[in-house]
Amino acid sequence: MQKYNVLVADDEPEIRNAIEIYLKNENMNVFKASHGLEALDILEKEDIHLIILDVMMPGLDGIQTTFKIRESRNIPILMLSAKSEDTDKILGLTVGADDYLCKPFNPLELTARAKSQLRRYTHLGHYKASEDEIEVRGLVLNKRSKTVLVDQEEVRLTATEYKILELLIEHRGRVFSIEEIYEKVWKEPYFNGENTVAVHVRRIREKIEINPREPKYLKVVWGIGYKIEK
């Protein structure tokens, strides 16, 4: 069996060590860093398969580190954050992370999520992109060719429209706030009052829905955001 290398970056030594124990238990190699810069350093030298990052760290924090990593690589990142009332907010901040978990977390859940990320590797150790083709109720999105079919018919989406739809479809069933969508797609902070996402949603609906006023795929969840029905 493949032995995976996992990098854990957290400024709290207890958490770092606890995670190390859980992961070693699952037969993984663990590299530890106490802040973002150290993590980036290890990342250059070692063949890391998964990064577990704490949001809150002195110096380069988890979010900045994610941006840095994403500039050059597509390694899976699992973000950790302190439990907060406003989970959605944190979720919005974790742009670029592949998954996230609130502290205090359940060790079983941590290892389960870590393994789920690692499952995306082939036996050669190469990172395997998640499924190329996603189908949901007659709507087929192909990530490789970046095309969308609705009932066998190809639909021409613009680049931004496609990105929004891909985001929603990849996590179908989950609700994304307008802010979250904006920050994930545009990769810049969202200022309240902007109407852009709504307009793009309208345009996407125009193209993929039979009746844009009664959307079958791209649904609104009032006061929360948008989602693709599972």
Partner DNA sequence: CGGCATCGTAAGAAATTTGTAAGAAATCAG
Partner DNA sequence: CTGATTTCTTACAAATTTCTTACGATGCCG
Interface residue list for its own copies (CB under 8 A): 14-15, 18, 83, 85, 102-107, 122-124, 126-129, 144-147, 156, 158-160, 173-175, 187, 221-224, 227
Residue 169 in contact with DNA, rule: CB under 7 A: no
Among 14, 44, 223, 230, binds DNA (CB under 7 A): 223
Omega within 30 of 0 (cis) for the link into 104: yes
Report yes or no: 52 and 20 within 8 Å, Cβ to Cβ.
Answer: no
In the complex, minimum distance from the CB of residue 131 to DNA, in angstroms, rounded to a whole number: 24
> Which listed option, DNA, its own copies, none, makes contact with residue 126 (CB within 5 to 8 Å by class)?
its own copies
What is the distance between the terminal CA atoms of the chain, rounded to a whole angstrom? 34
In the complex, minimum distance from the CB of residue 87 to DNA, in angstroms, rounded to a whole number: 12
CA angle (155, 160, 161) in 5-degree steps: 35
Residue 82 in contact with DNA, rule: CB under 7 A: no
Q: Where are the alpha helices (DSSP H) in the chain?
A: 13-25, 36-45, 62-72, 87-93, 107-118, 159-170, 178-186, 196-208
List Cβ<8 Å contacts ≥24 apart for 108-112: 110/19, 110/22, 111/22, 111/23, 111/25, 111/26
The residue whose two tokens read 């290892």 is: 111
Among 107, 125, 220, 229, binds DNA (CB under 7 A): 220
Other C-beta atoms lying within 10 Å of the C-beta of residue 111: 16
Residue range at the interface with DNA (CB under 7 A); choices 17-25, 95-103, 105-113, 152-160? 152-160
Residue 200 in contact with DNA, rule: CB under 7 A: yes
Residue 85 in contact with DNA, rule: CB under 7 A: no
Contact positions toward DNA, by CB under 7 A? 156, 158-161, 178, 186, 194-196, 198-203, 205, 212-213, 220, 222-226
